Amino acid sequence: MSTQRQADLIDLAGRVLMQNYRQPPIVMARGQGVELFDVAGRRYLDMTAGIAVCALGHAHPALAEAIAQQARTLVHTSNLYFIEQQILLAEDLARISFADRVFFCNSGAEANEAALKLARRYHRVVRGEPRDVVVSTDGSFHGRSFATVSITGQGKYREGFGPLVGPVRFVPFDDLDAAERALAPRDACAMIVEPIQAEGGIHVPSSGYLAGLRELCDRTGTLLVFDEVQTGIGRTGRWFGYEHDGVAPDVMTLAKALGGGVPIGACAATEAAAQGLAFREGGPVPHASTFGGNPLACAAARAVLRTIEDDGLLAHAAAAGDVLGAGLAELVAAYPGLCVDARGRGLLRGIALARGAADVVARCRDRGLLVSVAGGTVVRFAPALIVDRAHIDEALAILRAVLDEVADAR
Ligand code: PLP
């Protein structure tokens, strides 16, 4: 490990990688718990967990062992045959959620693609009532594939990629009247919403919003899809974000934390909605994925779920999230001109600034704290569910020092 090695790698990256990402000059070499170490040997306190992915932190022994054991046994067969780990993972997800059936894929975008295809085909083939429109919310984020970027309610992600997939009807988030108007024509196959808008800036809707959507979708015969890609698998202190509102969707999408860092996505549905992706006797396979639900990814996901359960990480995430949330609220009070709001739930938290957050995020990184930007002006915290009080105190102290610095510079 050396500074020269890191500089050489970054130089090489500049020549061989597509230039779609905008990255700081850091190459990560290894991780341990909530710490990351770069190739030059520098330590970082990781409050991003790979964008809400590494639920168990880095190099967790239970996850490492499950991956190693499965790698020695069977990595991949494709879905030409049943896969033991996939069947058992589906059983686990059905046990901890509203869902009866699960389709596995490899990412959040793919999970949402599956949900969209399910919704269209459910209406067209199962109900015999073609409905094409998807209702989505302003400020949402659902992925980067053509269909998911088309239903993402932030224009900047769609720029330069038209023509997009439609028809899509966008409504303001947390606005039941607008949702009612959008669903009234009864031409929507699905309404898709994040229980907390994450990439859009950590927006928690009013209590009753999700229940209101449930009622509207029931009334209009629309499938309700909760995109739990970021909020799922313990992030909010419960298994799924929808649990806080006491409602369940027809379809839920998962990815990110499900594999603890091993790529896996899932589209989970009620028995009725799942008919949207069921094959018909003599017909073609309606949807599929070569890698989806492969033995390695599913063994990893089962280890993640088992560890969250065995180690009581849901309650831990809720309690740690309260500590983090209180600390962020204190900072908002301490820097009234600079910070405007502290929000979130469990370990999905944000502090909204009165200016762009990129500079604060960069200064935190310079001081060894990794956080990320959400919605342009929000500093996002999405640490591993194992984060403890000492880590949170350290992160808050660094953020306070940065806010001091930024406030002085004004
Ligand atoms: N949905 C939500 C709510 C997300 O936050 C993200 C990614 O940030 C996605 C979908 C897309 O997931 P992926 O990047 O795995 O395709």
pLDDT in tens, 34-90: 999 999 999 999 999 999 999 999 999 999 999 999 999 999 999 999 999 999 999
Residue among 141, 173, 226, 240 flagged as catalytic:
141
Distances 93 to 28, 306, 309 between C-alpha atoms, Å: 32, 11, 12
Q: Rounded to 10 degrees, what is the CA torsion of 207, 258, 311, 295?
A: 150
What are the DSSP calls for 61-107, one per residue? HHHHHHHHHHHHH-----TTS--HHHHHHHHHHHHHSS-SEEEEESS
Per-residue model confidence (pLDDT) at position 1: 67
Known catalytic membership, residue 156: no
Name all residues whose Cβ lies below 6 A of ligand 1. Answer: 51, 107-109, 112, 141-143, 194, 198-199, 227, 229-230, 255
Would residue 227 show up in a list of annotated catalytic residues for this protein? yes
Q: Which residues contact 257 (CB under 8 A, 6 or more apart)?
A: 52, 53, 54, 55, 232, 233, 234, 235, 304
User: In angstroms, what is the span from residue 192 Cα to ligand 1's centroid?
Assistant: 13
β-pairing, 223-227 with 188-193? Answer: parallel
Q: Would you call 54 helix, strand, or coil by DSSP?
A: coil
Which residue among 141, 203, 262, 267 is best mutated to probe the pocket of ligand 1, counting the most ligand atoms within 8 A of its Cβ? 141
Q: Which residues in the chain show pLDDT less than 70?
A: 1, 410
Cα end-to-end span (Å), the chain: 38
pLDDT of residue 408: 80
| Single-letter amino acid, residue 140 | S
Q: Is 256 a catalytic residue?
A: yes
